[in-house]
Amino acid sequence: MANSLSSDPIKSSLLAVTQTAVGCGIGLLLAGKLARPTQKTTAATLLSLGVLLALPAVVETVARAWKGPESDRGVRRRLDSIRLDPGLTEETEAY
């Protein structure tokens, strides 16, 4: 639990950088103040950086929705683990 709490500031700062990079890329595409080749190269670089930085968060969100505990797969996985695991280790004596 502590691990997920400590990664929240990292995720939020990464999201802020991502949004900034995408916003700057779109702004450069619309601005027209730079020479056309420079403008396109810089905009493509910033947009690519934004997409690459956002990709892990998107993948994690999709994976959590797909196989999280509240999804159909998560419920099936939990039920299978309950059914197949006796809950006792080899060293435990059952009376």
Q: What is the pLDDT of residues 29-53, one digit of tens each?
A: 777 777 888 878 877 887 887 788 7
The mean per-residue pLDDT over the stretch 12-25 comes to 78
CA dihedral 24, 27, 33, 39 (to 10 degrees): 60
Asked if the model's pLDDT at residue 6 lies above 60, the reply is no
Asked if the model's pLDDT at residue 85 lies above 70, the reply is yes
Q: What is the CA radius of gyration of the chain?
A: 23
Question: Would you kindly state where each structural domain of the chain is located, as residue ranges?
Answer: 2-84
Q: What is the pLDDT of residues 57-73, one digit of tens each?
A: 788 878 877 777 777 88
CA dihedral 65, 61, 80, 92 (to 10 degrees): -150
